[in-house]
Amino acid sequence: MKIVEVQAIRANRFCYAKIITDEGIYGIGESGAFGVADAAAAQIRSFGLYLVGKNPLDIEHHWQVMFRGMFFRGAAVMGALSAIDVALWDIAGKYYNAPVYQLMGGKCRDKVLVYGHVIASSDEELVENCKKRKEQGFKALGHLSPFLDEDEDTPYNRTYTKNMEDAIRRTHLMRETVGDDVDLCIELHRRSLPAEAVVLIQEIADVHPLFVEDPIPPGSNEAMAYVVRHSKVPIATGERLHTIYEFQDLLDRQAANYIRVSLTTVGGLTGARKIATLAESKMCPIVPHNPLSPVCTAAEMQLCACIDNLLICEYPSGDGRLSWDSTSTDRKCDMVTNWDKPVDGYITPSSAPGIGIDLIPDIEKHFPPITYAPGSRLNIDGSVRDQ
């Protein structure tokens, strides 16, 4: 079996790889570099120049060539490698008539615990959406921002005291809303400095969050380690890292209690499995990151089925809107042939060959590509604010 074509498919804000073989078997995968999807698509086509004519089943060898053969790495390159790697595993599963988890050692679990997203721009919306997710059966809720999901076009103008008191109050409001039978995954979304994060975490520790995610901006593992040392709540981070070496440093510095692995930017199933094994050696659980489409979810379910050190997995609803525009009716699940639906807070990984999902025909025509212009929220004085 040989690869005859490698396609880069841009649809809405997403980027996919489709690899076609001379036996008619094809595989798909998704890139997680959603901020630079056009660049990732170009890199997928570039990797295709190497892959055409090769045996798609030599997955580890191709991964090493693409990972080590580039002079530079980063989001676009690793996003492209990730999409291609998942597509190759999808082909292998179809070729051997087995789900990917079976090829990667078999199942460690029959179903995967996931947490549902809660997005809110007001206290009222926060309460309503927490209740809605609990009613849907989720045992844990995530993307829970005590700072809310505010409009980035509005300059930030709030005192430190007001910002902290509101964040502390909202976190307690979350716990009051869902009770003790739902876990809270608090998302600070890199919006605090180390000292601020420590103060906030001390004040919300009594609601016993499952973890606090990304309390400070990425870049300094030393600063993150400071937060971990002074925190009474487990800290989860890593979603912006790309390589096993970056995760090695994070773990060596004890800068995370739980590792956030973005399967679609760390080199796909192959890269994520390497990082999961590395974390296992440190007795560190994995919390896979996923803000993407059902293709990413399908691939992550295959990974979650076959690794032992899984804590919980992020789940962006498949029937969620594709646009922040409240008038939009397009949903993520409309882009694929089927999608993983949670039952009582768990997803059963597909036992179909490969990753168990496909894109609809001519997806790029039904969902034209969207390219986002770079931007950032500003403080009232005009300086950049992380959000």
For 70-88, the pLDDT digits (tens) are 878 888 999 999 999 999 9
- Same domain flag for 95 and 106: no
So what's the pLDDT on residue 372?
Answer: 81
So what's the pLDDT on residue 3?
Answer: 98
Each residue of 12-48: pLDDT tens digit?
999 999 999 999 999 999 999 878 999 999 999 999 9
Quote the domain boundaries for residue 242: 102-353
- Same domain flag for 95 and 111: no
So what's the pLDDT on residue 327?
Answer: 58
Tell whether 61 is covered by a domain.
Answer: yes
pLDDT average, residue stretch 88-106: 98
pLDDT average, residue stretch 224-238: 97
- Same domain flag for 156 and 258: yes
Domain boundary among 78, 99, 120: 99
So what's the pLDDT on residue 150?
Answer: 85
Each residue of 119-145: pLDDT tens digit?
999 999 999 999 999 999 999 999 999
So what's the pLDDT on residue 328?
Answer: 63
- Same domain flag for 114 and 84: no
- Same domain flag for 58 and 189: no
So what's the pLDDT on residue 375?
Answer: 85
- Same domain flag for 169 and 288: yes
CATH at 32 = 3.30.390.10
- Same domain flag for 65 and 162: no
So what's the pLDDT on residue 73?
Answer: 84
Each residue of 353-385: pLDDT tens digit?
999 999 999 999 999 998 888 888 999 999 998
pLDDT at residue 265 is higher than 70: yes
CATH at 142 = 3.20.20.120
So what's the pLDDT on residue 318?
Answer: 78
Tell whether 358 is covered by a domain.
Answer: no
Of 269, 265, 233, which is closest to residue 246 (Cα–Cα)?
265
Tell whether 160 is covered by a domain.
Answer: yes
pLDDT average, residue stretch 248-262: 97
Tell whether 378 is covered by a domain.
Answer: no
Give the pLDDT band (50/70/90) at residue 321.
confident
So what's the pLDDT on residue 324?
Answer: 56
Tell whether 381 is covered by a domain.
Answer: no
Give the pLDDT band (50/70/90) at residue 55.
very high
Give the alpha-carbon dihedral of 39, 333, 127, 304, to 10 degrees: -70
Tell whether 251 is covered by a domain.
Answer: yes
**86 Cβ contact list (under 8 Å, min separation 6):** 17, 27, 28, 29, 30, 263, 264, 268, 269, 295, 299, 355
> What CA–CA distances, in Å, run from 196 to 133, 163, 207, 257?
29, 11, 18, 19
So what's the pLDDT on residue 211?
Answer: 98
Tell whether 304 is covered by a domain.
Answer: yes
pLDDT average, residue stretch 257-263: 97
Tell whether 367 is covered by a domain.
Answer: no
pLDDT at residue 320 is higher than 80: no
Contact present, 197 and 227 (Cβ < 8 Å):
yes
Domain boundary among 36, 71, 99: 99
Task: Retrieve residue 238's tokens.
Answer: 């890593």
- Same domain flag for 190 and 315: yes
Lowest-confidence range among 202-211, 292-301, 329-338? 329-338
- Same domain flag for 233 and 316: yes
Lowest-confidence range among 160-164, 169-173, 258-262, 326-330? 326-330
pLDDT at residue 294 is higher than 70: yes
Choice between 173 and 387, residue whose per-residue pLDDT is larger:
173
- Same domain flag for 237 and 262: yes
pLDDT at residue 250 is higher than 90: yes
What total of structural domains would you count in the chain?
A: 2
Domain boundary among 64, 99, 134: 99
- Same domain flag for 79 and 135: no
- Same domain flag for 90 and 109: no
So what's the pLDDT on residue 329?
Answer: 77
